[in-house]
Amino acid sequence: MPTVLVTGASRGLGREFVRQYAAAGWQVIACARNPDTMGDLASDSTVLQKLDLLDPATITALANALVDRPIDILLNNAGTMGSQSFAKHGLNVQRFGQSDYADWEHLFQVNVLGPMRMAEAFVEHVAASKRKVIVTLTSMVGSMATNAAGGLYAYRSSKAAANAIMKSMSIDLAARGIIATPIHPGWAKTEMGGPNAPLNPVDAVAGVRRVIDGLTPEKAGRFWQFDGTEMPW
Ligand SMILES: NC(=O)c1ccc[n+]([C@@H]2O[C@H](COP(=O)([O-])OP(=O)(O)OC[C@H]3O[C@@H](n4cnc5c(N)ncnc54)[C@H](OP(=O)(O)O)[C@@H]3O)[C@@H](O)[C@H]2O)c1
């Protein structure tokens, strides 16, 4: 059975990825800051692991604990908008003149350095697998081409930066047969997406899984959406 490692498995899309991959017969490594609170997710096919992207030692410890374990899909799902909630205020957050720089740095630690640290720590596990995929969930708000609303400086810039690292990774790891790419999961009803989102997590995750299933080397390093269409950078 193939193996997927999911970060941010405690709630939202991450939790749904764990549910769907496990139901499809995959071996799932479900990572979260507080795995003790997620006992209901554990099963014969799903192991819970502690991982905090703000604590690099937990990343190294997990990579070492799983040495020689092939990981078919490294799914960098965990992410944050910081202290200003899109769910409550929509795009009217992180406006010009209101920057909270400590919050912004925190966001970069989680959304950009987090996926990078994960990829560097787990590249051998992925290279040893059959499917060899590294995906980071970014966001359409990281697209320059579609930014018509302005604002949202911290989150937008973190997701644009995450797109940039996935692009470089797709080039650097191609020779090892690894397919690296960013995917926008759609606007989905989670704590981050809020109640007005048009998609439910079940459909958003099913869409992302379909996109991942269809990845080929030619599709690496491009900006995919959950419905299989390509988004301009
Ligand atoms: N929902 C949307 O509409 C939407 C749209 C575009 C992109 N995305 C992206 O999709 C991904 C999942 O979003 P979501 O809607 O499921 O968000 P969510 O409901 O807010 O869940 C975020 C997850 O990330 C985890 N996380 C936060 N900081 C972490 C850290 N330092 N270390 C490890 N895990 C951490 C959270 O864990 P805790 O429970 O411990 O806080 C939680 O499991 C994110 O990358 C997000 O940016 C979402």
Check whether 86 has a pLDDT greater than 90: no
Q: What is the DSSP letter of 95?
A: -
Enclosing H/E stretch for 221:
none
* Pick from 175, 178, 169, 181: nearest CA to 231: 181
Percent with pLDDT over 90 in the chain: 94
Instruction: Give rounded-to-5 percent helix, strand, coil for the chain.
Output: 45, 15, 40
pLDDT of residue 31: 98
Q: Residue 152 C-alpha to ligand 1 middle, in angstroms?
A: 17
pLDDT in tens, 169-224: 999 999 999 999 999 999 999 999 999 999 999 999 999 999 999 999 999 999 99
pLDDT of residue 92: 84
Check whether 90 has a pLDDT greater than 90: no
pLDDT of residue 14: 98
Query: Does residue 112 fall inside a structural domain?
Result: yes
Q: Residue 175 C-alpha to ligand 1 middle, in angstroms?
A: 31
- Count other C-beta atoms under 10 Å from residue 83's C-beta: 13
pLDDT band at 122 (very low <50, low <70, confident <90, very high): very high
Residue 130 to residue 102: CA distance in whole angstroms:
41
Query: Does residue 233 fall inside a structural domain?
Result: no
Q: Is 96 exposed, middle or buried (0-12, 13-18, 19+ CB in 10 A)?
A: exposed
The residue whose CA has the least distance to atom 24 of ligand 1 is: 78
Query: Does residue 155 fall inside a structural domain?
Result: yes
Query: Does residue 168 fall inside a structural domain?
Result: yes
Check whether 12 has a pLDDT greater than 90: yes
Counting from 1 in the atom list of ligand 1, the atom nearest the Cα of 15 is 43
- Domain membership of residue 141 as a residue range: 3-225
Q: Residue 65 C-alpha to ligand 1 middle, in angstroms?
A: 24
Instruction: Note the helical H segments in the chain.
Output: 12-23, 56-65, 86-89, 101-108, 114-127, 153-172, 201-213
Q: Which residue has the tokens 């769910």?
A: 87
Check whether 88 has a pLDDT greater than 90: no
pLDDT of residue 39: 87
Q: Which residues' Cβ are closer than 6 Å to ligand 1?
A: 7-8, 10-14, 32-34, 52-54, 77-80, 110, 137, 139, 184-185, 187-188, 190-193, 197
Query: Does residue 61 fall inside a structural domain?
Result: yes
pLDDT in tens, 17-68: 999 999 999 999 999 999 998 989 999 999 999 999 999 999 999 999 999 9
Mean pLDDT of 113-121: 98
Query: Does residue 181 fall inside a structural domain?
Result: yes
Indicate which CATH number applies to the domain containing 165.
Answer: 3.40.50.720
pLDDT band at 87 (very low <50, low <70, confident <90, very high): confident
The residue whose CA has the least distance to atom 3 of ligand 1 is: 187
Query: Does residue 230 fall inside a structural domain?
Result: no
Total domain count, the chain:
1
Mean pLDDT of 128-137: 98
Q: What rounded mean pLDDT belongs to the chain?
A: 97
Residue 123 to residue 174: CA distance in whole angstroms:
12
Query: Does residue 74 fall inside a structural domain?
Result: yes
pLDDT of residue 96: 95
Q: Which residue has the tokens 């997710």?
A: 41
